């Protein structure tokens, strides 16, 4: 084990190179902003209020998302029914939706003129008010409940089928299975899922911009945007970015401290059968409610935009092509970095926690700060506008890296822990080890990670807005420009096109990873 842990292979060297690249992308842009800041900055009362609101809404959003995801994932793990695969694919939809598009869907349902308010008016009740803390939390739950369900479902499916078969032969009931098999899995999965969602909500920008805002509902990320956009106070923006990064690093450290490795061991990769399930009406009711919560806003988006998809200007389709190219490059970079870091984390005996932390804390870094910092760095060397798409792909890859890493590290650890010694005894290294040992068991998490990275990059609207020229927009930016020009019909059509491409990308890669697998 010791020889295997400290043997420096080309993959280990590549893993260290990935760590250095991540550190450079986090530190260099922040340092560039501080260097260009003309005056020292200090945080005021409004900034500290933004910090408190950021932590409060992130904790509530993550708690509700994970708490609801546990019974949903359990129902999906132990039930087989027609449309199960489609429902699992649908669970990836809200998280990969462009945020502004999804917010429009939520407003159509929960807004003052939405479906819910209309129904309340029929019985004489006042309309609901979606703006403020509860609206921000509702949107974050809409985005992150499916992600939490998928992360927890991966843990459920990692329990070997032989364990459930043995439990059935010993006469275990539902409570016994939960205590012996499911609670230990949740103990290793829930802390990571909670903290990943906490970090996502902590850096939330577009949701808070649309449903929050004001002194009482501003996050740190939104305060950074205001410092850039309205005050052009680079020093204050850098100070806020440093504070946000510190909070995120603390959260990532807590996540790694409270997580415990899975002790389920390996199996024979058989299809999981459950003998402990009882009447299914509760699971059916739960899954139906979740499906309704996700489908209705998406349906409103489709109803508004579908008639205009085939009459969009040529510039929209050209922007769609650029978005597709950026998403492909971003997916390759993100998945490659995540796999290299996961292999490095599992191989290292010392420093593994630090390497894994570096991969996660990129989620706490502000993409606005990274984009602006790279602009300052590149400006003396070349025209940053000419590199808008490659830089966007790189930043998008870094932003999606924690999700891929969270999926791949447990999978690689399980494979190495179960089959690593056998592979070592057979002198299986390099490509042979990857093809015969790793690939069959990492195919599913790799497919999920690749689909997630591609879809997130497809819908990103942030960094590209800092670099792009009028003729180099991606599809989200082009849609935003249509909205700003009050061409709402075409914007709705572009939203449907963007939604369809994001879902298709996620489905292709996720389905490819699940081919002949149990999902």
Give, in degrees to the nearest 5, the angle at Cα 478 between 472 and 479. 165
What is the DSSP secondary structure assignment for residue 272, as one 8-state letter?
A: P
Q: Write the DSSP assignment of 113-133 as a string of letters.
A: TSHHHHHHHHTTPPPP---SH
CA-based nearest residue to 398, from 357, 370, 356: 370
How far apart (Å, rounded) are the C-alpha atoms in residues 234 and 57?
26
- Averaged pLDDT, 254-274: 58
CA-based nearest residue to 452, from 211, 91, 22, 112: 91
What is the predicted pLDDT for the residue at 1? Answer: 43
How far apart (Å, rounded) are the C-alpha atoms in residues 425 and 112?
66
- Averaged pLDDT, 480-502: 82
Residue 34 near residue 235, CB atoms below 8 Å? yes
pLDDT digits (tens, 9 = 90+) for 349-397: 777 778 887 887 777 677 777 877 787 788 778 877 788 888 889 888 9
Is pLDDT larger for residue 469 or for residue 493?
493
pLDDT category of residue 518 using cuts at 50, 70 and 90: very low
pLDDT digits (tens, 9 = 90+) for 47-63: 888 889 999 999 999 99
Give me the CATH topology for the region 10-38+58-262+271-514.
MetI-like fold (1.10.3720)
Reported residue count of the chain is 519
pLDDT digits (tens, 9 = 90+) for 415-457: 888 887 787 777 777 777 778 888 888 888 888 889 888 988 8
**Domain-by-domain residue ranges, the chain?**
10-38+58-262+271-514
Tokens of 39: 């005056």
What is the predicted pLDDT for the residue at 479? Answer: 81
How far apart (Å, rounded) are the C-alpha atoms in residues 458 and 42?
36
Is pLDDT larger for residue 519 or for residue 372?
372
pLDDT category of residue 263 using cuts at 50, 70 and 90: low
pLDDT digits (tens, 9 = 90+) for 129-154: 888 888 899 999 988 888 888 888 87
Tokens of 272: 């999981």
pLDDT category of residue 41 using cuts at 50, 70 and 90: low
Residue 85 pLDDT > 80: no
- Averaged pLDDT, 202-213: 77
User: In this prediction, what percent of the chain has a pLDDT beyond 90?
Assistant: 9
What is the predicted pLDDT for the residue at 260? Answer: 56
What is the predicted pLDDT for the residue at 391? Answer: 86
How far apart (Å, rounded) are the C-alpha atoms in residues 455 and 469?
23
Residue 492 near residue 308, CB atoms below 8 Å? yes
- Averaged pLDDT, 193-219: 80
pLDDT digits (tens, 9 = 90+) for 295-344: 888 888 888 788 888 888 899 999 999 999 999 999 999 999 999 998 88
> Which range, of 40-44, 292-296, 445-449, averages the lowest pLDDT?
40-44
Q: What is the pLDDT of the chain when averaged over all its residues? A: 80
Residue 10 pLDDT > 80: no
- Averaged pLDDT, 193-215: 79
> Which range, of 6-15, 118-127, 499-508, averages the lowest pLDDT?
6-15
Q: What sections of 172-280 are H helices per DSSP? A: 174-177, 183-202, 206-211, 220-226, 234-258
How far apart (Å, rounded) are the C-alpha atoms in residues 344 and 354?
11
What is the predicted pLDDT for the residue at 170? Answer: 73
Tokens of 510: 């996720």
């Amino acid at each position: 084990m010791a020889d295997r842990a400290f043997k420096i292979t080309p993959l280990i060297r590549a893993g260290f190179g990935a760590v250095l690249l991540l550190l450079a992308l986090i530190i260099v842009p922040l340092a560039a902003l501080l260097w260009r800041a003309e005056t020292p900055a200090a945080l005021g009362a409004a900034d500290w209020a933004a910090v408190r609101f950021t932590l409060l809404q992130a904790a509530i959003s993550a708690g509700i998302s994970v708490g609801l995801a546990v019974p949903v994932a359990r129902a999906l793990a132990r039930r087989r029914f027609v449309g199960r695969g489609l429902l699992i694919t649908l669970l990836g939809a809200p998280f990969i939706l462009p945020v502004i598009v999804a917010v429009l869907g939520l407003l159509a349902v929960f807004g003052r003129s939405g479906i819910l308010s209309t129904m309340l008016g029929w019985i004489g009740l006042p309309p609901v008010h979606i703006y403020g803390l509860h609206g921000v939390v509702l949107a974050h739950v809409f985005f992150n409940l499916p992600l939490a369900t998928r992360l927890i479902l991966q843990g459920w499916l990692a329990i070997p089928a032989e364990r459930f078969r043995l439990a059935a032969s010993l006469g275990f009931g539902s409570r016994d299975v939960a205590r012996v098999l499911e609670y230990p899995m949740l103990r290793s999965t829930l802390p990571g899922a909670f903290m990943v969602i906490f970090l996502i909500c902590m850096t939330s920008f577009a949701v808070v911009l649309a449903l929050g805002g004001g002194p009482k509902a501003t996050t740190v990320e939104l305060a950074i945007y205001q410092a850039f956009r309205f005050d052009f106070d680079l020093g204050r923006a850098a100070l806020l970015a440093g504070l946000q990064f510190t909070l995120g690093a603390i959260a990532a450290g807590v996540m790694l401290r409270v997580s415990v490795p899975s002790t389920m061991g390996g199996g024979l990769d058989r299809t999981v059968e459950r003998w402990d399930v009882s009447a299914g009406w509760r699971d059916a009711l739960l899954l139906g409610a979740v499906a309704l919560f996700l489908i209705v806003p998406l349906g409103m988006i489709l109803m508004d935009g579908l008639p205009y998809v085939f009459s969009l200007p040529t510039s929209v389709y050209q922007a769609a092509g650029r978005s597709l190219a950026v998403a492909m490059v971003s997916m390759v970079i993100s998945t490659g970095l995540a796999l290299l870091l996961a292999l490095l984390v599992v191989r290292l005996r010392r420093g593994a926690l630090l390497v894994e932390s570096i991969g996660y804390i990129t989620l706490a870094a502000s993409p606005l700060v990274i984009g602006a910092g790279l602009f300052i760095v590149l400006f003396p060397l070349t025209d940053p506008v000419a590199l808008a798409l490659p830089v966007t792909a790189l930043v998008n890859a870094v932003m999606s890296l924690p999700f891929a890493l969270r999926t791949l590290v447990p999978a690689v650890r399980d494979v190495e822990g179960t089959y690593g010694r056998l592979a070592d005894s057979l002198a299986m290294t390099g490509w042979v080890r990857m093809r015969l040992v790793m690939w069959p068991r990492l195919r599913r998490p790799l497919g999920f990670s690749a689909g997630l990275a591609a879809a997130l990059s497809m819908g990103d609207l942030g960094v590209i807005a800092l670099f792009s020229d009028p003729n180099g927009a991606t599809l989200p930016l082009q849609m935003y420009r249509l909205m700003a020009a009050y061409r709402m019909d075409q914007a709705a059509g572009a939203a449907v096109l963007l939604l369809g491409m994001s879902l298709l990308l996620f489905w292709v890669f996720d389905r490819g990873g699940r081919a002949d697998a149990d999902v």
